[in-house]
Chain A
């Protein structure tokens, strides 16, 4: 797979999704799934295939928080910073995690191990503060959980 060009892989994703009604978001999700981010080179190929302007596709790809311009770390850690988690000390948790990992929000560790992101609600509000590590939900985050998370992303 790796030998294939960005263009070929982009075209393959488009081919799979283009029959859908309103295919642009599913295509962008598919591209991000394929590459781990949305390569800038993919955008004009999508625009051409869907008969949209480059500006339109660029606008959509940059409007949504989920689509990355650059690859993420091997792990992605999201810390909820919304009100229910705030009421349970999410800002303190965020400061501890940032200190332990040596990175701030929207940053990736130098060794590429982890990307740290804020998220505004994971729907785990009755077991706040909450986090999500590589899609796995974590509730009632405390010092012990932080240590486990840090150990996992470093391993």
Chain B
């Protein structure tokens, strides 16, 4: 029997996957063909979505991007048996975009039915958790430490060391909190995991719970992700029914259960301490550290706060061992990173690869340059708090330390590509404006500095004492960087200063810039 895979993730739906699914279902029924439709996750090549795959005895064949109006012609061309059509892409794993990837965390995404536990297990799911249940907690923590896994949310703190602190803390309750408040523009890897392979996150959290002695987990998902919220809630319910969550995880003496909590539209809640306040039902105001959340976190109890990708990387580390994971990577950045190519880029999507590729390879070879066909002017790496890189820095290897060395950051590995129509003064102004909109208000440099930053950059744009005002912005950025508790105020200077440093022409008096052209 034929199985048809049509992605049901929200980005695929955004480009018409639901309408394609409806058209295919209607055509199947009109032609009286018996076939099963599975709404899989996306494999992550969004430039090919909606990408429809047909599975037969010979494997899976992809077609894309499919429009509802193409469906009739696809049936006429015999696409259910791999028939030729202008949208025929061939075997998905052989497409250059996928063939160059190393898929560890995203091994199942786009392949399995996200809410089928049988499918999950058939593709290696739960193997990590089973291994963990046979290990002592300290052994689990050591495996994660030895793998070299660092926090994928942006800070890059070694995950195993964080877990070790929580494991060693003595308390009547401990928590695992998954930070799924993926607010950075250009990032969607967390969303893809939750929509496309939610059991992997549940498995990762259960392993974390067993390792540190926590019995309760929360996934804090941003409200902008309604599809992810629904997928996670459903997956948790199924995992409970199957005995993966509950008083006895897979029949072991370990208890672990979890629930979804939905954010309320505050970017700053992606910062771990404001996220904890939000979970507690408070305003999402940043807390000073210390005390570390690992010792006094949610409701004052020892808490592991990890990003979705960090937790989702744990099952494969447990399954295949620390050394297997560590063998991928570059320098002190071990393992793989799901790089997200976004914005004005030809081949936009998720590209999981070992650390170490250069930024230029990622943007030009993998991304194929801009979608508009114009030259690349700048790429912003790491979301709204990440630096803008010019093509002259494209030899920078994708690695935490290498990016820090160029006054930038990897963050959650989102890359936004801009063509030469971008105005970097406008982008610098937006960074300040965004900080002003989203500041929690706790630190003065962030709360007030961001607004003064917008005003001062507006003066530069209006040609009012530009040199003096750029010096003022530079000084302000220094104050924000060193005088803010969290990354919102502390890192907003990255996009602002990188724009000023690398694109000085955009900050010259407008009349002169125009005259020079």
Contacts and interface: CB of A to CB of B under 8 A. Distances in A.
Interface of A: 21-26, 28-29, 50, 56, 59-60, 63-67, 82-88, 119-128, 130, 132, 135-140
Interface of B: 10-11, 13-15, 46-47, 49, 182-188, 190-191, 216, 223-227, 261-267, 278-285, 299, 340-345, 348-350, 371, 380, 383-384, 414, 416-419, 422, 427, 430, 434, 437-438, 440
Contacts of B15: 127, 139-140
B380 A83 contact: yes
A112 to B, nearest CB: 22
B192 to A, nearest CB: 8
28 contacts: A24-B281, A25-B263, A25-B264, A25-B278, A25-B281, A56-B282, A82-B185, A82-B434, A84-B342, A84-B416, A87-B422, A120-B267, A120-B437, A121-B182, A121-B184, A122-B10, A123-B190, A125-B343, A125-B414, A126-B47, A126-B342, A126-B345, A126-B349, A127-B14, A135-B226, A136-B13, A137-B227, A138-B14
A63 B280 contact: no
Given A65-B265, A83-B186, A87-B344, A123 B11 contact: yes
Contacts of A50: 281
B223 A124 contact: no
A50 to B, nearest CB: 8
A9 B342 CA distance: 44
Residue of A21, A26, A138 contacting most chain B CB atoms (<10 Å): A21
Nearest to A136: B13
B66 to A, nearest CB: 14
Nearest to B414: A125
A66 B223 contact: yes
A126 B261 contact: no
A26 B261 contact: yes
B46 A121 contact: no
Residue of B182, B216, B265 contacting most chain A CB atoms (<10 Å): B265
Contacts of A128: 342-344, 348
Closest 9 CB pairs of A and B: A24-B281, A126-B348, A139-B14, A125-B342, A64-B264, A82-B185, A65-B265, A87-B343, A126-B46
Contacts of A119: 224
B225 A87 contact: no
Contact of A137 (B13, B261, B416): B13
B265 A64 contact: yes
Nearest to A27: B281
Nearest to B269: A64
Contacts of B10: 122-124, 137
A87 B187 contact: no
Contact of B430 (A67, A83, A121, A125): A83
B266 to A, nearest CB: 5
Nearest to B384: A83
Contacts of B13: 136-137
A88 B371 contact: yes
A28 B224 contact: no
A6 B46 CA distance: 45
A121 B183 contact: yes
A127 B265 contact: no
A21 B218 CA distance: 10
A61 B11 CA distance: 30
B47 to A, nearest CB: 7
A124 B283 contact: no
Contacts of B384: 82-83, 120
A104 to B, nearest CB: 16
Contact of B434 (A87, A120, A127): A120
Contact of A139 (B11, B224, B343): B11
A135 B227 CA distance: 9
Contact of A120 (B183, B282, B414): B183
Contacts of B262: 25-26, 29
A77 to B, nearest CB: 14
Contact of A66 (B265, B279, B440): B265
A125 B188 contact: yes
Contact of B187 (A21, A60, A123, A139): A123
A126 B281 contact: no
Nearest to A60: B283
B11 A137 contact: yes
